[in-house]
Amino acid sequence: MRLAKYLAHAGVASRRAAEQLIAQGRVTVGGEVVDDPARDVGDDSGVAVDGEPIRGPEPRVVYALHKPAGVVSTARDTHGRPTVTELVPGGRRLYPVGRLDADTTGLILLTNDGELAHRLTHPRFEVEKTYRARVGGPPLTERALRALRAGVQLDDGRTAPARVRRLDAHTLDITIHEGRKHQVRRMCETVGHPVRRLARVRFGPLELGDLPAGRARRLTAAELRALADVARAK
């Protein structure tokens, strides 16, 4: 198995993050630093990250977490802020599937399945996410909604068409399948409605529902199958 994929299957990091670990010289095989993510390895190859031996794949798990505001979507934070991994019980080594801004709340997934995380976040698989935005400015108009649905021009290019539903004069649900930084906030700002509060309420087939803020739950077998179904190439 290729080294980056081996690390992902072992629950160390997503495949892309594993490639970064390798590029940073933090991965050794048989005691020697390896910089090739395609290096073939197995359970008897002596793979280690930062000197810690990696002992093969763990049982695959995925958790849904209702992320509160002020919590960062990383496994560790150099500034000492609380992280999403600290809110999941069980002591497993998990990492978040994508990110939410510190001020954004709502549904985030955490897993030790690097291949699934890669598929759920890579643009090629077009996994949809729905956000509920409370916006400022004048009441939402059909013109603004049409612009969001058609795609708006941002400084890093035009966004793909979105599904948008107006809930009240200052609240909307917006569904996208891209993952640009601060994308929903920038889209709303572009049409004259700065975001005041933002929450992710759906990720692929999973809904936030009534999961309390700060709480996590392990996904059921049926939910895992539904996730696998949407994480297939289009």
Give the tens place of pLDDT for each residue, 108-141: 999 988 888 888 988 888 899 999 999 999 999 9
Range of the domain at 47: 3-53
What local confidence, expressed as pLDDT, does residue 85 receive? 93
Are both 99 and 142 inside the same structural domain? no
- CATH number of 69's domain: 3.30.70.580
CB neighbour list of residue 86: distance below 8 Å, 6 or more residues apart: none
What local confidence, expressed as pLDDT, does residue 15 receive? 81
141: left (phi over 0), alpha (psi -120 to 50) or beta: beta
What local confidence, expressed as pLDDT, does residue 221 receive? 92
What local confidence, expressed as pLDDT, does residue 57 receive? 66
For the question of whether the overall pTM of this predicted structure is more than 0.85, the answer is no
Are both 15 and 74 inside the same structural domain? no
Strands 105-111 and 195-203: parallel
CA separation for the pair 200, 129 (Å, rounded): 7
What local confidence, expressed as pLDDT, does residue 233 receive? 62
Q: Is 113 a catalytic residue?
A: no
Are both 112 and 141 inside the same structural domain? no
Report, as an integer, the average pLDDT of 28-55: 92
Are both 108 and 154 inside the same structural domain? no
pLDDT tens readout for residues 177-220: 998 999 999 999 999 999 999 999 999 999 999 999 999 999 99
Structural domain count of the chain: 3
Catalytic residue among 36, 40, 101, 156: 101
If one counts every other C-beta atom within 10 angstroms of the C-beta of residue 200, the result is 20
Are both 137 and 197 inside the same structural domain? yes
Are both 199 and 213 inside the same structural domain? no
pLDDT tens readout for residues 51-102: 999 876 677 899 999 999 999 998 888 888 999 999 998 777 888 999 999 9
What local confidence, expressed as pLDDT, does residue 171 receive? 98
Q: How many alpha carbons lie under 13 Å from residue 65 in its C-beta half-sphere?
A: 29
Tell which residue, 90, 47, 95, has the closest CA to residue 72. 95
What pLDDT band is residue 12 in, cutting at 50, 70 and 90? Answer: confident
Classified as helix, coil or strand, 109 is: strand
Element (H, E) at 207: strand 206-207
